[in-house]
């Protein structure tokens, strides 16, 4: 029987400092959580206590991410979009945010790898982390919602015009 991975010894970080400082604290904590999760083996092979421990680790990590995004999602959005001057599609926003904050958001490569898995049980649920970020941005910044919706409409109109041409 494989011994359970130990939960990280580090306490959940407190947020309220600068974006950079809080991102560093969250990143260190989340790296420890990810290492503990990987120590439990592939998701599809976890059973019983290992599955329960993995779920507890994921829930703790997501709680930290959610708190971080509650404090800093708008600052991240402003940083990436030049305070709203640059309109981005959702996929572009997520890619830019994950390249800047890879400990907090899965990169496009991670999402692609997870989408390739055929069974849900084999997945870690990285899309949930993207949802936490988007919810924090869209629910706290009405301009972001408008910008993202407008970008989607323009993309659809251009695609429609190309079909008619």
- Averages of pLDDT over runs of 10 residues in the chain (165 residues) are 53 92 96 94 91 94 95 93 84 93 93 88 88 84 64 61 66
What are the extents of the domains in the chain?
19-164
Closest-CA residue to 75 (of 12, 153, 21, 151)? 21
**What mean pLDDT, rounded, does the chain reach?**
85
User: Residue 82: enclosing H or E segment and its boundaries?
Assistant: none
- Asked if residue 29 lies in contact with residue 85, where contact means CB atoms within 8 angstroms, the answer is no
CATH number for the region 19-164 comes to 1.20.58.1300
The per-residue pLDDT for range 62-85, each reduced to its tens digit, is: 999 999 999 999 999 999 988 878
């Amino acid at each position: 029987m494989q011994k359970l991975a130990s939960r990280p010894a580090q306490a959940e970080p407190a947020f309220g400092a600068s974006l950079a400082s809080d991102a560093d604290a969250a990143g260190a904590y989340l790296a420890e959580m990810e290492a503990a999760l990987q120590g439990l083996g592939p998701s599809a092979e976890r059973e019983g206590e290992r599955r329960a421990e993995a779920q507890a680790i994921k829930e703790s990590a997501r709680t930290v991410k959610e708190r971080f995004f509650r404090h800093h999602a708008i600052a991240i959005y402003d940083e990436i979009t030049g305070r709203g001057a640059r309109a981005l599609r959702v996929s572009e926003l997520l890619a830019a945010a994950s390249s800047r904050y890879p400990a907090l958001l899965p990169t496009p490569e991670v999402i692609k790898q997870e989408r390739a898995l055929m069974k849900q049980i084999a997945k870690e649920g990285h899309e949930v982390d993207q949802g936490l970020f988007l919810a924090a941005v869209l629910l706290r910044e009405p301009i972001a919602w408008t910008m993202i919706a407008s970008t989607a409409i323009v993309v659809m109109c251009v695609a429609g015009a190309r079909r008619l041409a």
